[in-house]
Amino acid sequence: MKPTGLLEVTAVRPVTPRTVRVTFTDSDLADLEPWPDQQLKLLFPPPGRPVRLPAADGDVMRWYQAFLAVPENERPVMRSYTVRSRDRDTIDVDFVLHSGSAGPATAWARRAAPGDVLGRYGPDAAYRRPLSTADTLLCAGDETAIPAIATILSEVDNAVAFVEVADAAEEQPLPGEVHWLHRDGAGHGRKLVEAVRGAALPEGSVAAWLAGEASTVRAVRRHLVGERGWAKNVVEFTGYWRRSLTQDDAPTPEDLADAAEKLEDSAGWKGN
């Protein structure tokens, strides 16, 4: 499969009051093997301009350098997303419509319509991670993590999931053991951290998959490693977004520390 390409919108439909599902097609996707937590980069063109993709030769670093070389007024905005589902040459991607000032992805999703075109980089099998073989896999995240959690739950029967969303209207049908947590006006992440801290997990080996708002993910990970004594290399974690910051803002010291630990842990990541 070509590492980059153009995705054309074929359908747009609401999933919940705050989530919209967009179906894309690209003939290059037909030969791509699906896997859980399959991620790709979406490239949103500047308003009124077509998508400009740098040349791709299979080397991600050279591609990224070529991407940065595109003039700023023509360069797409790049954001990471998880494939919600696959059907031959189509993929579904869920967009959470964040409240307040809309970023480029939310603004695009609110007006998306069949025929619209985005660029993509990936999905790339080089970033595929093995699923846990532990007796219990703890999944925890917010609404931005639902697509990945859904694909993980469809593949395993040893998972316990905690998902924090705005309210009951944001729940989605998911397989397996899922504990829904409703903020109902409470601070983002508070109920998720409290629920994981209070969770009584089955006996046996454990592993965790965590994603969502970065500071919340950090708090849950600290609890598992620092308070429960879990080994760092059984906790896979990703901060999808940051409060009051975008992916274009400079990384905070906490972000840099997380990145360093992820690099360290990736060498010894265990799926058990």
Same domain, 109 and 212: no
Report pLDDT for 31.
83
Same domain, 133 and 257: yes
Domain containing 20 equals 4-125
Residue 33 lies in a domain: yes
Report pLDDT for 221.
98
Q: What CATH number has the domain bearing residue 46?
A: 2.40.30.10
Neighbours of 210 (CB within 10 A): 24
With a cut of 50, list the residues of the chain below it in pLDDT: 248-250, 255-256, 259, 263, 266-267, 269, 272
Same domain, 106 and 133: no
The pLDDT tens digits for 210-263 are: 999 999 999 999 999 999 999 999 999 999 997 655 554 445 555 445 545 554
Report pLDDT for 22.
98
Report pLDDT for 263.
47
Same domain, 234 and 157: yes
Report pLDDT for 255.
47
E strands along 97-234, which residues? Answer: 117-121, 136-142, 159-165, 177-182, 206-213
Stated pTM of the model: 0.88
Report pLDDT for 267.
46
Same domain, 23 and 108: yes
Report pLDDT for 140.
98
Residue 116 lies in a domain: yes
Burial class (CB in 10 A: 0-12, 13-18, 19+), 148: buried
E strands along 34-191, which residues? Answer: 39-44, 77-87, 90-96, 117-121, 136-142, 159-165, 177-182
Number of domains in the chain: 2
Report pLDDT for 26.
94
Same domain, 216 and 135: yes
Q: Show which of 68, 93, 125 is a domain's final residue.
A: 125
